[in-house]
Structure 1
Amino acid sequence: MPRLSPKARIAALTLPLILLAAQAGAHTGEGINTGFASGFWHPIYGWDHVVAMVAVGLWGAFLGAPAIWILPVVFPLVMAFGGALGVMGVPIPMIETGIALSGVVLGLLIAFAVRAPIWVAAVIVGLFAIFHGHAHGTELPEAFSPYGYAVGFVVGTGLLHLAGIALGFLTNSEAGKMAVRGTGGVIALVGAAFLFGLA
């Protein structure tokens, strides 16, 4: 069995720990008494959000510099804009479809090793970020500060992007590249399950 590099070991440990923490928080239902905490856990609660946000970091890592840092910055910035639209009640059609499609499209881009120019990748990621942000904004609990909530969901999203980037370190080997592409396929399947109402 081949030895894993330090980066690969970090990648192999990061995602399971984040997902374990997410599930622990989701099942207790305790401690969500501030806008920040509610916003932080909101993107981590739903697998439709989780797979898309991990995919952004993973695709960025697959594309390499500068995408590895640009895409995970573009997504939360544009997501915050979409969240503001949701808080203001500005309607955007087919929000849930857009969220589900983000998993399908981003997963397929990874699975088929698509190397898009950075501006194309940023536009794709930004477009899907609007749907995710709008959903967060419209679901803002009335009792919480929208500012704390927005900061919380940007931080939670950033951690999911980092998990994707960590997984992207596996692309240092041929077996790792295949694992990353396989992960993209799984992400696309999860997105399709939400798209067709199977999840």
Structure 2
Amino acid sequence: MRLKHSFLVASMMVAAMPAFAHTGSHPASDLVDGFAHPFGGLDHTLAMVAVGLFAAVLGGRALWAVPATFISMMLVGGVMGVMGIGIPAVEAGIALSLVILGAILAAGSRCLISIAMTLTGVFAIFHGYAHGAEMPTEAAAALYCLGFVSATAFLHGTGLVLGHAFGKRQMIHRLAGAGISIGGVVLSLN
């Protein structure tokens, strides 16, 4: 009962957040702003928690390899965003990350760690691009990047903790995945 209550409270808090972390939607200049960015949009928050859940479901080496791949490739995307290198359909890529990661969790699918790393790495480029493109030219780039990397690691950790808290209860993993996937569809329609 306590887990249901906690999940309900967390769901209500997340639902109150803005829908997207669109490029250029708010000013950013330092560590705090960089840390806040992933929490400023439900799409980023859900995707990063989903990566942690995905890693928890896979277990073993995936516990560190999948989140580390995401963070590494997110930094690559962030650099692309800062440099103004165009990536088509960034928002669609972010929404698609939710749909696909959520669907994998909902289906209870297991895959090779290398496939999970590749998949999350590709999605991370879109998320990183949004972080980097939003950073204004006067921002302290290193502090801003440290902030969004720290927030991402925190959200991955949250997903890992939730995945372990759910334990072998595959139905909860599947329901969380379905919610994430549906969230991706809904957010892509906005």
TM over 0.5, yes or no?
A: yes
Max Rg structure: 1
Aligned-residue Cα RMSD (Å) equals 2.4
Amino acid paired to 1:127: V
Mapping of residues 63-82 of structure 1, within 5 Å: 63-82=58-77
* Paired position in structure 1 for 2:103: 108
Q: TM-score, normalised by structure 1?
A: 0.81
* Paired position in structure 2 for 1:184: 177
* Paired position in structure 1 for 2:40: 45
Secondary structure of the residue aligned to 1:65 is: coil
Match 2:89 to one of 88, 94, 100: 94
Q: Which deviations, in whole Å up to 9, do the C-alpha atoms of 1:102-138 show, x marking residues without a partner?
A: 0000000101011010110000000000000011111
Secondary structure of the residue aligned to 2:111 is: coil
Match 2:188 to one of 189, 192, 195: 195
Q: Give the drift of 1:66.
A: 0.9
Amino acid paired to 2:105: I
- Tell whether the 8 Å contact from 1:62 to 1:171 is kept in structure 2 after alignment: no
Q: Give the drift of 1:195.
A: 1.5
Identity %: 41
Q: Which deviations, in whole Å up to 9, do the C-alpha atoms of 1:41-92 show, x marking residues without a partner?
A: 0011100001100000000000111111111111111101100011001001
* Paired position in structure 2 for 1:27: none
Deviates more, 1:119-128 or 1:134-143: 134-143
User: 2:170 & 2:120 partners in 1: Cα distance?
Assistant: 21
- Tell whether the 8 Å contact from 1:167 to 1:180 is kept in structure 2 after alignment: no
- Tell whether the 8 Å contact from 2:108 to 2:173 is kept in structure 1 after alignment: no
Q: Give the drift of 1:177.
A: 2.0
Q: Structure 2 unaligned runs (5+)? A: 18-26
Q: TM-score, normalised by structure 2?
A: 0.85
Q: Which deviations, in whole Å up to 9, do the C-alpha atoms of 1:7-44 show, x marking residues without a partner?
A: x8xxx69x94xx68x96xxxxxxxx9751111100011
Mapping of residues 1-199 of structure 1, within 5 Å: 16=10, 34-173=29-168, 176-197=169-190
- Tell whether the 8 Å contact from 1:170 to 1:180 is kept in structure 2 after alignment: no
Q: Give the drift of 1:143.
A: 2.8
Amino acid paired to 1:102: S
Instruction: Find runs of 4+ consecutive structure 1 residues off by over 4 angstroms.
Output: none
